[in-house]
Structure 1
Amino acid sequence: MNDMAEQRYLKLTVAYDGTAYHGFQRQANAITVQQVLEERLATIFGHPLKVTGAARTDAGVHAYGQVVGFATSGTIPAANIVRAAKSVLPPDIVVVKAEEVSADFHARFSARSKIYLYRIYNAAVADPFRRNYAWHVTQPLDEAAMDTAVQTVVGTHDFSAFRAAGGPPVSPVRTIYEAGCTREGDMLEFRFWGNGFLYHMVRNLVGTLVDVGLGRLTRDGFTRILAGRDRTRAGITAPPQGLYLKEIFY
């Protein structure tokens, strides 16, 4: 970057199909969304880029509204970035919005809340066209029971029971503003809106809620798992392809 040029700070909203990528965050020996963004966008800004993402989505996870921020000395107007990015990015990564922000904006630390969706394809026979975009569960699921159980996570709780090992050393206390489960035909969708999420928290919640939907666990049993703060008592980690980062609020 030319230090003599005036720096600008940009915020991009990015959608991507995570199927082909080993998550968002750059890795040494695997292709990630961050790497592709940095390498391809550098060609339109005229210098190497280092972007910061709001969420470090895992391999196979998708996003409607990932947010990245970066400093640039490039002069391309924000209004032209969406069109220019389309010409250099692969079709499974799309910049959907670009705007200038102040120097104190941080994609991750400035975020106030996020919405995640999780989709389950609930049918006896697999659908090859949904295999990368939903968790296929063959046994019938009771969405009403799961919706009733998931309401118990609304509010401020210690989510240690749904926290995977390997995440950053942060407080397990999070506030969930809304949560629910709905069905449309064979597709089930969970929605979680909260001020923050622990490593694999949504996938671990869904894995446990599926036990409720299968009749293996009651609503009260789910509530006791939440209160118990013991990951070994909760269900499996739902697979990544059903998870979507929907929106981030600042």
Structure 2
Amino acid sequence: MTTAEHVPNDILRAVRIGLRLSQDDLARALRRAGEEAGEPNEASKRLVQRWEAGVSRSPRPVYARALERVTGRPVEALGFALPVPRARVRDDGRGGHDVQPEEQHPAGVSTRQRTQPSPRYGGVWLSRYEYFSSGRGETFTGAHYIVLVQHGDRLTGQSLPGASANPGSPLSLDLSVDRNVVTGTWTEHTAPDGYYAGARYHGALQLLVEPTGRRMSGKWIGFGKDFDVNSGPWELIFQDSSTSKATMERYSRPPG
């Protein structure tokens, strides 16, 4: 793979920004986590840069464990590619051919999907959705400030710490852009001490981008706790194009 073909790990970058950490901060946190666990490592800003640039796509186990401790996420949810052996059939004179699967990048998107330029949507957005609680017989609104990181037609979203209407319920979005249509998946881990007792919910999401490019609205779909399929409205409203540490701190609060 040449340098030009390296695909940035936008999921890791979004998680780092969401935690309000610089690349230096993350490296220091990884070293500290390693020392506390009795597994010293040599994490550096340069290593974090290589991960985020897609140059290094699979962290060594000692770094993987430190990443999980610092971010609170399994390493496979941080945008890293898991090593998958290529299927190869040697030509034995009977028509055998090498089988080369289509190359996948850390976010799971093939090179064939990265050909069309997309509008820029990176920055801080207000995410807001509605859901009906069958147990309480009411409709509620879930709201988060999230940071969107964009690479080509791919958007990765991560809620900011403390920026949820329901404290302790982090939200992740994995989206792709096709002109004015945004499609993808969502995942939310509910607060351990909340009504849903730390349950993990996930589903699909499709949004239409308004002509201004400052609002997306559409529908979510997902499974409920009673194994039924639910749906409801979802919107993203643009707040700020900056992803600086100061901006992240300003939006690390529950939406008003």
TM normalised by structure 1 equals: 0.29
Tell me which protein shows more helix as a share of its residues.
1
TM normalised by structure 2 equals: 0.29
Higher relative contact order (CA 8 A, sep 6+): 1
